[in-house]
Amino acid sequence: MPSYGYSVIGIDPDRTAIASGRNMRVSPKQCREVCNHIQGMMLDKAIDLLELVIEEKAWIPYRRHRKKRGHHPGMKKWPAGGHPVKASEHILKVLKNAEANADSKGLDIDRLRISHAATQQGRTYKKYIERAFGRSTPYFEKTSHVEIILEEVG
């Protein structure tokens, strides 16, 4: 069993709550864009945004992985974006887990801000599709590690 750490050091344990999701079967590219968009938001605004993205009523701007992405008139300030539904569902679970951790620590839920939201690429599940004439085609599935740190402000 691997022991996972966090990519942030030097946080105050009395004012912060942390949570992580490991080896989630979600695209690391989409997780990266969602994490970059919600970082720095207040907790309630981030939860509302992710719920709207799951309903496909809000957009997540794609700042890095935007090649061959369509330009949408619903986007503001950034032309390329999308609705990463699956990534938003998984990150919302981690966010609610961090909220529960903050509640059990006795932090004020209304004053929580996402101070750190990051994703790294997890392990790759290697699968192969059988083809004709004894060949096979790789059908690899990438996973993501997501970590979220909530900090009490004020």
Residue 107 contacts by C-beta under 8 Å, 6 or more apart in sequence? 15, 17, 150, 152
* Confidence (pLDDT) at 69: 81
pTM beyond cutoff 0.85? yes
Dist. CA 61–CA 111, nearest whole Å:
26
> What digits encode the pLDDT tens for the residues 95-130?
999 999 999 999 999 999 999 999 999 999 999 999
The DSSP bridge partners found for residue 81 are 61
Residue ranges of domains in the chain, CATH in brackets: 16-152 (3.90.470.10)
With contact defined as beta carbons under 8 Å apart, do 44 and 96 qualify? no
> What digits encode the pLDDT tens for the residues 59-100?
999 988 888 888 788 777 888 889 999 999 999 999 999 999
* Confidence (pLDDT) at 142: 96
Dist. CA 147–CA 109, nearest whole Å:
19
Average pLDDT over residues 25-50: 96
